[in-house]
């Protein structure tokens, strides 16, 4: 068996493999501040590319960006009963506004009359502003998005997947009618689906969350759910129909077209730096990170292979002109991004470094390649032994097509993986076996997604969770399309076939 760059491999220990990939690609690390991560330059540039693509999609659908305060007065949180219940247990509370030296130590001073919470999400503070901005139906809809940091005090954290502070976007919209708000909720869910599939190459199932998994205060919560390579589900984005709950809590009232005072209908929707975790667990392999070309900060690494000064005189100009020729090519509406890595280090190590970072293409260029007017190409979606030589001009002319092919290959591969680990299950014993690890030491290895009937009784959902740590990840929009069935747990008549899985 060939050696891999990441130890342990996915097969050997999935959670440790994940940490090792993050480390090897230099994406992020834990900070000395409890639960908070440092997003390192390569990881942050992934976020910049996610932001840029999503932001364009938000603007195309009529949204504008704005910025609201980091702090929320405690009394605002109190206004929506389920909301406070959902967030009060895990929030950072600001109680003082200065520090003073006492016995050689800094202690808090200047107690606030009302404590402030560092926003875990901004429905309440944004609702307060919308209540001021909206008087008439003419002021609607409001279609605003915010890029921001949020804080939820987490006891068990994991880089990108669950951290106390994380970066996200939160859309908050207000509408005249329930129908319009629902349309918006579904539109943004679809924006997330398209982004996940077309940019991240991460296939997702869209559908509604069961009541037990709803956003605190929402009437309906929809999500995109992806399967990771340990077959667990990752909730990668949510879109909430909030009905009039938050409008009532914040007082977002308007004069309707009929001259009647009504409460607005609101929505909220968000994705976060968790997406980077999803990208890792969808595409990375035992050699490290794999970045889908459409979100790659750099598409090609050009590595000159030089042993002598004589070789340098030949190789460097060739590599520079190659890089220039590649940069003149256009992929996905932007110039191909090339890094010419001239650092003085071992050629093999250097090549492996880019492999571990997940750059789509690595070109190794030595005197022999130059003699043949060719390039030696490593595609990150293929194995190390599948590197190939290619005519230089042909490579330059086809670089965009190669990246395009990689993007499609990654999606197809992820789709095939998900399909291979998804089963329609109608029998409880099969269901139990599907979710029971074959090996007690490797609890992460289990079946995947089960498509099974559910009677819609929360008690069945809870029992399954208690017994197998399996939950309903989503009720797909076509859940009713499979005819009647029997609930996988209680056997009673059931109408909906839903997606069960273990989850992050």
| Interacting residue ranges for a second copy, rule: CB under 8 A | 31-33, 36-41, 44-45, 47-48, 64-75, 77-78, 84, 88-101, 105-108, 110, 115-118, 125, 128-129, 144, 148-149, 151, 153, 165, 167
Least spacing, CB of residue 464 vs a second copy, in Å: 29
Least spacing, CB of residue 47 vs a second copy, in Å: 8
**With respect to a second copy, which residue has the nearer C-beta, 106 or 433?**
106
| The pair of three-digit structure tokens given for residue 13, joined into one six-digit string | 């220990």
**With respect to a second copy, which residue has the nearer C-beta, 52 or 368?**
52
| The pair of three-digit structure tokens given for residue 466, joined into one six-digit string | 């208690």
**With respect to a second copy, which residue has the nearer C-beta, 26 or 262?**
26
Angle at 385 between CA 381 and CA 387, to 5 degrees: 65
**With respect to a second copy, which residue has the nearer C-beta, 353 or 461?**
353
How far, in Å, CA of 135 to CA of 115, rounded? Answer: 30
Where does residue 405 rank: exposed (0-12), middle (13-18), buried (19+ CB within 10 A)? middle
Least spacing, CB of residue 501 vs a second copy, in Å: 30
**With respect to a second copy, which residue has the nearer C-beta, 16 or 26?**
26
Least spacing, CB of residue 234 vs a second copy, in Å: 21
State the DSSP string of 345-400: S-HHHHHHHHHHHT-SEEEEE-HHHHHTTEEEEEETTS-GGG-EEEEHHHHHHHHH
**With respect to a second copy, which residue has the nearer C-beta, 27 or 399?**
27
How far, in Å, CA of 37 to CA of 167, rounded? Answer: 11
Least spacing, CB of residue 11 vs a second copy, in Å: 31
> Three-state SS for 132?
helix
Contacts of 297 (CB under 8 A, 6+ apart): 42, 45, 46, 48, 49, 291, 337
Least spacing, CB of residue 224 vs a second copy, in Å: 24
Which phi-psi region, left, alpha or beta, contains residue 144 (left: φ > 0; alpha: ψ -120 to 50)?
Answer: beta
**With respect to a second copy, which residue has the nearer C-beta, 108 or 317?**
108
Least spacing, CB of residue 95 vs a second copy, in Å: 5
| The pair of three-digit structure tokens given for residue 44, joined into one six-digit string | 């942050």
What does each C-alpha distance from 301 to 48, 230, 374 come to in angstroms?
19, 30, 15
- The answer to whether the CB of 422 falls within 8 A of the CB of 448 is yes
Least spacing, CB of residue 26 vs a second copy, in Å: 10
- The answer to whether the CB of 151 falls within 8 A of the CB of 69 is no
- The answer to whether the CB of 410 falls within 8 A of the CB of 358 is no
**With respect to a second copy, which residue has the nearer C-beta, 116 or 487?**
116
């Amino acid at each position: 068996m060939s050696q891999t760059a990441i130890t342990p491999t996915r097969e050997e220990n999935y959670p440790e493999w994940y940490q090792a990939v993050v480390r090897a690609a230099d994406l992020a690390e834990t900070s000395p501040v409890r639960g908070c991560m440092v997003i390192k330059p390569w990881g942050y540039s992934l976020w910049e590319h996610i932001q840029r693509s999503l932001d364009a999609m938000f603007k195309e659908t009529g949204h504008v960006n704005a910025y609201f305060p980091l702090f929320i007065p405690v009394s605002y949180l109190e206004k929506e009963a389920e909301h406070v219940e959902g967030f009060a247990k895990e929030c950072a509370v600001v109680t003082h506004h200065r520090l003073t030296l006492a016995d050689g130590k800094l202690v808090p001073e200047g107690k606030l009359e009302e404590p402030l919470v560092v926003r875990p999400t901004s429905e309440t503070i944004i609702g307060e502003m919308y209540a001021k901005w909206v008087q008439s139906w003419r002021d609607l809809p409001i279609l605003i998005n915010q890029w921001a940091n949020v804080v939820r005090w987490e006891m068990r954290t994991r880089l990108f997947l669950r951290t106390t502070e994380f970066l996200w976007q939160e859309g908050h919209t207000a509408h005249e009618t329930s129908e319009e708000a629902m349309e918006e909720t579904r539109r943004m869910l679809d924006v997330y689906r398209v982004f996940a599939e077309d940019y991240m190459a991460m296939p997702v199932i869209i559908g509604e969350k069961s009541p037990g998994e709803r956003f605190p205060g929402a009437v309906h919560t929809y999500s995109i759910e992806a399967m990771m390579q340990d077959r667990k589900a990752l909730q990668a984005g949510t879109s909430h129909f909030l009905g009039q709950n938050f409008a009532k809590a914040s007082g977002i009232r308007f004069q309707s077209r009929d001259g009647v005072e009504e409460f607005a209908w609101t929505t909220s929707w968000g994705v976060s730096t968790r997406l980077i975790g999803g990208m890792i667990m969808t595409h990375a392999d035992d050699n490290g990170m794999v970045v889908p070309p459409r979100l790659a900060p750099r598409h090609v690494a050009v590595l000159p292979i030089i042993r002598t000064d004589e070789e340098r005189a030949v190789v460097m100009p060739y590599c520079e002109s190659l890089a220039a020729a590649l940069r003149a090519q256009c992929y996905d509406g932007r110039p191909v991004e090339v890094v010419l890595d001239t650092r003085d280090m071992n050629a093999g190590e250097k090549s492996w470094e880019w492999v571990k970072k997940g750059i789509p293409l690595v070109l190794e260029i030595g005197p022999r390649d130059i003699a043949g007017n060719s390039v030696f190409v490593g595609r990150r979606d293929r194995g190390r032994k599948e590197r190939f030589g290619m005519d230089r001009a042909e490579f330059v002319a086809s670089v965009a097509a190669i990246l395009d092919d990689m993007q499609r290959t990654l999606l197809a591969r992820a789709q095939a993986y998900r399909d291979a680990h998804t089963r329609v299950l109608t029998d409880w014993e099969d269901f139990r076996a599907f979710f029971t690890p074959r090996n007690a030491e490797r609890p992460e290895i289990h079946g995947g997604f089960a498509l099974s009937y559910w009677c819609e009784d929360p008690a069945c959902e809870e029992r399954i969770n208690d017994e197998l740590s399996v939950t309903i990840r989503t009720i797909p929009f076509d859940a009713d399309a499979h005819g009647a069935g029997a609930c996988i747990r209680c056997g009673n008549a059931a109408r909906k076939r839903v997606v069960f899985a273990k989850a992050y």
